[in-house]
Amino acid sequence: MIGQLLDRRYRLIKLLGSNTFRQTYLAADTHRPGYPQCVVKQLRPPNNHPRTFNIIQLLFKKKAEILEKLGKHDQIPQLLAFFEENKDFYIVEEFIAGQSLADELVVGVPLSEDQVFRLLQEILVILVFVHHQGVIHRDIHPENIIRRQLDGRLVLINFEAIQESTSQPSNSQSGQLASSLGDSPYKPIEQLQGNPVYNSDIYALGIISIQALTGLPAEDLTKLQNSDPSHVGELLWRHRTQVSQELADILDKMIVSDWRYRYQTAIEVLTDLNHIGNTSGNSQPLQMLVTLEQNDSKRRHRLWETGFRQKLLLIVAALAALMAIAGLGLGFHRQAQQKASNLKISELENASDTDHLGAIQSYNQAIQLNPNNAEVYYKRGNSNYDLGNLEEAKADYTQAIRLDSKHAKAYQNRGLVYSDLTDYRAAIDDYNQAILLKPNDAAAYEKRGQAYFNLNDYKAAIEDYTQVIRLNNQDAVAYINRGLARSAAGDKQGALADYTQAIRIDPDSGDAFYSRGRVRFYLADYQGAMEDYTDAIRVNPKFADAYINRCSALLNLGQYQKAAADCTQALKFTPNDAIAYGNRCIAYFNLRDYQKAIEDCTQAIGLDSNNSKAYSNRGLARAAANDKSGAIDDFTKAIRTDPSDAVAYSNRAEVHSDLGNYSSAIEDYTQAIRLKQDHNGAYYGRGLIRARMGDKQGAIEDFQKSAKLCIDQGNTGCYNDAQYQIKKLQS
């Protein structure tokens, strides 16, 4: 196989690993400049039976879909391609250059508690992202964690045994699956029995952390099991290292043998880590990326059968679901205007006199003496522009062009006037003329790029900013502007690279840090976003938007006290900022200070009466404070503000259900379904109410519909829940 060209594109370089049905190769992508390396994984069906092939084909496509979804995360390899060739299946992934965590875990050389603390935080938030996609990794061990050479961040690789999640182990025991996975110290008992759950991954990370703290090989950890029959599976490891009781308690809870008593979610572990971090000094900004992405469709079905307290992490995963789809996570994230940097005329060529009114009088006199002097009209245009007299400036530049048709600066500056007047097509025409006259004028390309950007022609904008960079590869602003255009065009990774280059050129560019933070936030890299906003604040301590966005990132990291503090700081600079109040409302809700949450959401509503999410969040806070009627009133206002908000209908339905108003609840669930026909949670919630009302057949139909939607969406967890309700009704 070495040297073979697959899919007429991927040249195999060397074998990285193999087993019975899979080979993994390092390859070169011959269709990309420089032939960058990638990883090619070959899956060979166990036999040639058509039925087996069809099943493998379906599983292969499903796996590729999952990898595509996971690869949006900066610390998970991107899926580059998948294809079939000669009845074998191939997946092509991003190659991560670096060393594995296994290389860092040297036997007899334990890591410090601070190092393990950071390791835990980084991997846990990656797991939050993975689990929110409805996926269990199932093969977490040091070889599958790579420290990326490029930036020193940890990357989770080899999602070979990925499984879409369920909330609890099934009753069936898959001995064949357990056998294929093999006996591993990183796998808990339920996984060895073929029934992995979310916190099976948490168990693996706990074992890795203990291995790192003790300096013991993983296989030796099993020798530390407690021999007391009442503590089966418990590891006695604390005496083998120096560790704080707080961290040791967290690790012990991560590796409880019975999954029911283990941490249930990665966010729970993070919350406890943040608590000890706040008291031990470990809470300084990490140097590693950690991320979280809300996935409403995977989790919303739980909303209707749990209390409002559990909805905390779902609040804006559910209520801000529409925003999350657009790339927002927990909290309302300040969207900076997608606007390229605007160079002032005075930065190009202006009258030397800073007294523009006096300068204009001088230019008027000069024009009276010589009405054919193009340069004087041009300079008077500059002064008029700086005074905000756009029409006068346009007239002056036009006259300068009439007198000198090769006056490139006049074309360029008239183009800027047209841009300010939002006549971007006319502006582009003028920039075209300026570039024809001076093909190497970077400023003209930059201005034209901005005009294209404002017309949403991001491809043309990118081309212009690229030309600016060719003319001056140390222009940090050009990299920022190209990053903005790439981000708007959907190329978040390209934008990330541009912002990073801008920071290399100018380490004190607050705009570059802020812009990179926004992209990282979009990519659910909340830890990376938090670090960038921190740098933006370092550069500009009064950067209100950076405080607001860092508040959003901290919400997603479960650091609610810090989030509230950041939003409070932002409000000192911008006292009437609805987003800051809205985010602080969410922080207070998570801190169970429902009264303050209600007050802040009320402030947000007062500043923006069309803020449907603020009404919804206040409704949740009121419901949590046992003000059910107030909650219904707020959900109703949210619906009036945004009649298409299916989640608001669903939440109002739950409150109606809590009050025993089953008819109203069914009406709301039905409307939620009308608005969002694939709303499996609404079908599930309506099914629960119909079951309570004795409408057995209607309930079964709803649960069946919910089950079908869940399986169509690849969510086996809610599928199993719906099937359980059906079996209960049919028994």
Model confidence pLDDT, tens digit, residues 617-669:
999 999 999 999 999 999 999 999 999 999 999 999 999 999 999 999 999 99
Average of per-residue pLDDT across 147-157: 91
Rounded CA-CA distance 175/187 in Å is 15
d(CA 85, CA 87): 5
Catalytic residue among 29, 139, 201, 532: 139
Q: Model confidence over 48-101: pLDDT tens digits?
A: 777 777 877 888 888 888 898 898 888 999 999 999 998 889 999 999 999 999
Among 698, 688, 643, which Cα is nearest to 665's? 688
CB–CB of 485/453 below 8 Å?
yes
Mean pLDDT check: name the lowest of 136-145, 161-170, 279-288, 319-328: 319-328
Q: Do domains 99-290 and 458-522 have the same CATH topology?
A: no
CATH H-level, domain 5-94: superfamily: Phosphorylase Kinase; domain 1 (3.30.200.20)
d(CA 685, CA 344): 57
At the top level of CATH, which class does the domain 458-522 belong to? mainly alpha
Contact 23, 45 (CB under 8 A): no
Structure tokens at 367: 């024009």
Q: Is 139 a catalytic residue?
A: yes
pLDDT digits (tens, 9 = 90+) for 349-391: 333 445 778 888 888 988 989 999 999 999 999 999 988 999 9
Query: Cα 659 to the chain's mean position, in Å?
Result: 36
Out of 29-43, 52-66, 322-336, 636-650, least confident range = 322-336
Question: 36: Cβ–Cβ under 8 A, 6 or more apart, which residues?
Answer: 28, 29, 95
Task: Return the amino acid letter for 218.
Answer: A
Q: How many CB atoms lie within 10 A of CB 505?
A: 16
Distance between CA atoms of 178 and 173, rounded to whole angstroms?
A: 9
Asked whether 536 and 514 are in contact (CB, 8 A), the reply is yes
Question: What are the structural domain ranges in the chain?
Answer: 5-94, 99-290, 345-455, 458-522
Let me know: does 288 contact 282? Beta carbons within 8 Å.
no
Neighbouring-strand partners of residue 94: 38
Q: Which helix (H) or strand (E) holds 376?
A: helix 374-386
Secondary structure in 3-state letters for 226-280:
CCCHHHCCCECCHHHCCCCHHHHHHHHHHCCCCHHHCCCCHHHHHHHHHHHHHHH
Spatial separation of the C-alpha atoms in residues 232 and 644, rounded to whole Å: 53
pTM of the model: 0.57
What would be the CATH architecture of the domain defined by 345-455? Alpha Horseshoe (1.25)
> Token pair for residue 434?
């300026």
Give Cα separations from 32 to 24, 291, 575 (angstroms). Answer: 21, 29, 50
pLDDT interval class at 439 (50, 70, 90): very high
The CATH number for 99-290, chosen from 3.40.190.80, 1.10.510.10, 3.40.50.2300, 2.60.120.590, is 1.10.510.10
Q: What is the DSSP pairing of strand 88-94 with strand 79-85?
A: antiparallel
Do the Cβ atoms of 188 and 151 come closer than 8 Å?
Answer: no
Element spanning 730, H or E:
helix 716-730
H helix runs in 472-611, sequence order:
476-488, 492-505, 510-522, 526-539, 544-556, 560-573, 578-590, 594-607
Residue 711, pLDDT above cutoff 90: no
- Could you tell me the pLDDT band of residue 280, with boundaries at 50, 70 and 90? very low
Residue 193 is predicted with a pLDDT of 82
